[in-house]
Amino acid sequence: MASTKTVVLRAFKFTLAPTAAQEQQLLRWCGNARLAFNYALASKRAAHTEWRAQVDALVTSGVKEPVARKRVTGPKTPTKPAVYKAFIAERGDTREGVDGVCPWAHEINTHVFQSAFIDADRAWNNWLDSFKGTRKGRRVGYPRFKKRGRARDAFRLHHTVTKPTIRFSTHRRLRLPTFGEVRLHDSARTLVRQIDRGTALVQSVTVSRAGHRWYASVLCKVEMDLPSCPTRSQQAAGTVGIDFGVKALAALSKPLVPDRPESTLLPNPRHLAKAAHRLKRAQQTLSRRQKGSARREKARRRVARLHHEVAVRRQSALHQITKRLTTRFATIAVEDLHVSGMTRSARGTMDKPGRKVRQKAGLNRAILDASMAEARRQITYKTSWYGSRLAVLDRWWPSSKTCSACGWQNPSLTLADRVFECAQCGLTLDRDLNAARNIEQHATQVASGTGETQNARGEPVRLPRPRAEKQGSTKREDTGPPGPVPPRRSNPPTPPNPRQGQAKLF
Ligand SMILES: [Zn+2]
């Protein structure tokens, strides 16, 4: 099998086992990362407010808004270099008895501050680009200050690669500059060997807290042997369509394990339901505790811990599935993510704010979107590791309302209907399995260029032959016989998406 040596960025995540004193220290560093982010954001906001005031002054004096915007030149929004310079001037120093915004800064690695300044730059630009409409995806709001207890506890350290200060002193100990050595729960042997052999190079480390755990995510440049096309067995298995759900974790158009037909419906791990029970109890306990009490703090920690454990289990189940999928099939077809429609519908406007926005958006929807996004992220990089590829289909294509055998559509299908029943050919199938089969068929049609779908005005649009990401993967003779003749689709729901009627392949 042909393969190419490629350098990729890869994160290795380790669970830390800090001592009690180290944990306090870690929390302190996270606090300083927050402080630095807020410092940078405050200076950006100040400059922006000043600029806005100058524009407004011109507008009230009779100048048109676009002209005024152009005429006001300063003050410029400071970026990292300027922010860092101002910070050095203002921070103070306890060693010299000079008070300032952060006089203890010398006790903390400078990268904690610098990476927070970079993060603030990114948050600012994301908002600006989103505002201007040059950024894809969900609208990004005006950057907010990070609040203790609200924002994720995390900090990031970089180092010069020629003088590595972030390194493993043993398989079980990670050395962080200025901080010292932290013990790991798990062994870093595989990574240490790669570093020793020169096939991995540490770039940075992000330390974060989730629930009761501390993690170190070590970002490395890794030399990998990436296959340039699917293996024979992957090609023989062909395309698989996946429908992610809440009830079942995922429904597949083909069994995940070849000789186990029941492996088309992947159940949500049972311990999730068990945890849900414990979580409910823990939350009840928390609500009974008096505000500000030590026992309330203890109950709060227990709830956070249970939440985190559920997340970890779901994540590990997803990892197992995505690895199996990407190693077994040549093409993995999924539906595109829910863009931002549902949450926005309840949000309302400034004058007429929506009510119970979060509740309406739905917990299930949130879980589903989160795990779909994560599954998609995993499938994306794993397909590149294992020579397979990912096909993403338009979300507004009615995959659950269409019969996977004859193409008949049931427009009145609701979320409560767990079984799809076809009025035309009599097919009776689990709703999610039917959707998965449709996704597979659609992906195969799109890939072979025979698919036909409709654009917003209901006119048939021939899908362009998709760009093949990897050489050799355009060979489609092994994906089995083409699906039935594509049925004429009725008008899909109102398109909130300009990419309506298209399928991206990458
Ligand atoms: Zn049918």
pLDDT in tens, 33-92: 999 999 999 999 999 999 989 899 999 988 888 888 888 876 788 999 999 999 999 999
Which pLDDT score, from 0 to 100, does residue 471 have?
33
Instruction: Tell me, in angstroms, the distance from the centre of ligand 1 to residue 424's CA.
Output: 5
Q: Percent helix, strand and coil across the chain, each rounded to 5?
A: 40, 20, 35
Enter the DSSP assignment of 394: -
Which pLDDT score, from 0 to 100, does residue 371 have?
75
Question: Would you place residue 25 in the very low, low, confident or very high pLDDT band (cuts 50, 70, 90)?
Answer: very high
Which pLDDT score, from 0 to 100, does residue 365 have?
61
Percentage of residues in the chain with pLDDT exceeding 70?
A: 79
Q: Taking phi first (over 0 means left), then psi (-120 to 50 degrees means alpha), and beta for anything else, what does residue 386 get?
A: alpha
Answer yes or no: is pLDDT of 31 > 90. Answer: yes
* 61-70, 96-105, 441-450: range with lowest mean pLDDT: 441-450
- Beta-carbon contacts of 339 under 8 Å, excluding residues fewer than 6 positions away, are 137, 138, 395, 496, 497
Instruction: Tell me, in angstroms, the distance from the centre of ligand 1 to residue 420's CA.
Output: 9
Instruction: Tell me, in angstroms, the distance from the centre of ligand 1 to residue 50's CA.
Output: 64
Which pLDDT score, from 0 to 100, does residue 491 have?
38
Instruction: Tell me, in angstroms, the distance from the centre of ligand 1 to residue 486's CA.
Output: 13
Answer yes or no: is pLDDT of 215 > 90. Answer: yes
Answer yes or no: is pLDDT of 255 > 50. Answer: yes
Does residue 370 contact residue 482 with C-beta atoms inside 8 Å? no
Instruction: Tell me, in angstroms, the distance from the centre of ligand 1 to residue 180's CA.
Output: 65
Instruction: Tell me, in angstroms, the distance from the centre of ligand 1 to residue 410's CA.
Output: 10
Question: Encoding tokens for residue 433?
Answer: 């399995």
Instruction: Tell me, in angstroms, the distance from the centre of ligand 1 to residue 365's CA.
Output: 28
Answer yes or no: is pLDDT of 465 > 60. Answer: no
Residue-wise pLDDT tens digits, 391-401:
888 767 788 88
Nearest by Cα to 502 from 451, 468, 435: 451
Instruction: Tell me, in angstroms, the distance from the centre of ligand 1 to residue 493's CA.
Output: 21
Instruction: Tell me, in angstroms, the distance from the centre of ligand 1 to residue 251's CA.
Output: 19
Residue-wise pLDDT tens digits, 399-422:
888 899 988 888 887 777 788 888
Q: How far apart are CA 462 and CA 487, in angstroms?
A: 14
Instruction: Tell me, in angstroms, the distance from the centre of ligand 1 to residue 194's CA.
Output: 54
Nearest by Cα to 445 from 372, 503, 381, 368: 503
Answer yes or no: is pLDDT of 292 > 50. Answer: yes
Instruction: Tell me, in angstroms, the distance from the centre of ligand 1 to residue 401's CA.
Output: 11
Helices (runs of H) and strands (runs of E) counted in the chain: 12, 17
Instruction: Tell me, in angstroms, the distance from the centre of ligand 1 to residue 449's CA.
Output: 23
- Residue 208, classed as helix, strand or coil, is strand
Answer yes or no: is pLDDT of 499 > 50. Answer: no
Answer yes or no: is pLDDT of 493 > 70. Answer: no
Residue-wise pLDDT tens digits, 311-350:
888 788 889 999 999 999 999 998 876 644 444 444 444 5
Instruction: Tell me, in angstroms, the distance from the centre of ligand 1 to residue 336's CA.
Output: 24
Question: Encoding tokens for residue 135?
Answer: 């950024």
Which pLDDT score, from 0 to 100, does residue 26 have?
97
Instruction: Tell me, in angstroms, the distance from the centre of ligand 1 to residue 94's CA.
Output: 76
Kindly tell me the burial class for residue 224, based on how many C-beta atoms sit within 10 Å of its own C-beta (0-12, 13-18, 19 or more).
Answer: middle
Nearest by Cα to 314 from 240, 255, 257, 370: 370
Q: How far apart are CA 65 and CA 209, in angstroms?
A: 46
Does residue 14 contact residue 95 with C-beta atoms inside 8 Å? no
Rounded alpha-carbon distances, angstroms, from residue 329 to 166, 388, 454, 469, 492: 38, 7, 28, 16, 29
Instruction: Tell me, in angstroms, the distance from the centre of ligand 1 to residue 459's CA.
Output: 24
Residue boundaries of the structural domains of the chain: 3-17+153-227, 29-114, 236-265+328-347+358-505
Instruction: Tell me, in angstroms, the distance from the centre of ligand 1 to residue 215's CA.
Output: 50
Question: Encoding tokens for residue 132?
Answer: 């201007």
Higher local confidence (pLDDT), 138 or 434: 434
Which pLDDT score, from 0 to 100, does residue 175 have?
96
Answer yes or no: is pLDDT of 117 > 50. Answer: yes
Q: How far apart are CA 430 and CA 14, in angstroms?
A: 40
* 131-145, 166-180, 411-425, 466-480: range with lowest mean pLDDT: 466-480
Question: Would you place residue 497 in the very low, low, confident or very high pLDDT band (cuts 50, 70, 90)?
Answer: very low
Instruction: Tell me, in angstroms, the distance from the centre of ligand 1 to residue 423's CA.
Output: 7
Which pLDDT score, from 0 to 100, does residue 458 have?
32
Q: Which of 36-50, 276-290, 367-381: highest mean pLDDT?
A: 36-50
Placement of tokens 């979300």 in the chain: 395
Instruction: Tell me, in angstroms, the distance from the centre of ligand 1 to residue 243's CA.
Output: 19
Which pLDDT score, from 0 to 100, does residue 460 have?
33
Kindly tell me the burial class for residue 48, based on how many C-beta atoms sit within 10 Å of its own C-beta (0-12, 13-18, 19 or more).
Answer: middle
Instruction: Tell me, in angstroms, the distance from the centre of ligand 1 to residue 97's CA.
Output: 80
Which pLDDT score, from 0 to 100, does residue 485 have?
36
Answer yes or no: is pLDDT of 15 > 90. Answer: yes
Instruction: Tell me, in angstroms, the distance from the centre of ligand 1 to residue 261's CA.
Output: 22
Region 427-442: what's the mean pLDDT?
90
Which pLDDT score, from 0 to 100, does residue 271 have?
64
Question: Would you place residue 248 in the very low, low, confident or very high pLDDT band (cuts 50, 70, 90)?
Answer: confident
Averaged pLDDT score across all residues of the chain:
81
Does residue 30 contact residue 155 with C-beta atoms inside 8 Å? yes
Instruction: Tell me, in angstroms, the distance from the centre of ligand 1 to residue 485's CA.
Output: 13
Region 153-173: what's the mean pLDDT?
92
Instruction: Tell me, in angstroms, the distance from the centre of ligand 1 to residue 402's CA.
Output: 8
Which pLDDT score, from 0 to 100, does residue 68 have?
87
- Beta-carbon contacts of 314 under 8 Å, excluding residues fewer than 6 positions away, are 269, 272, 371
Instruction: Tell me, in angstroms, the distance from the centre of ligand 1 to residue 487's CA.
Output: 11
Instruction: Tell me, in angstroms, the distance from the centre of ligand 1 to residue 406's CA.
Output: 4
Question: Would you place residue 448 in the very low, low, confident or very high pLDDT band (cuts 50, 70, 90)?
Answer: low
Segments of 353-458 assigned E as strands: 389-393, 419-421, 428-430, 452-454
Which pLDDT score, from 0 to 100, does residue 352 have?
53
Instruction: Tell me, in angstroms, the distance from the centre of ligand 1 to residue 403's CA.
Output: 5
Element (H, E) at 437: helix 431-448
Instruction: Tell me, in angstroms, the distance from the centre of ligand 1 to residue 464's CA.
Output: 28
Question: Encoding tokens for residue 479?
Answer: 């994906």
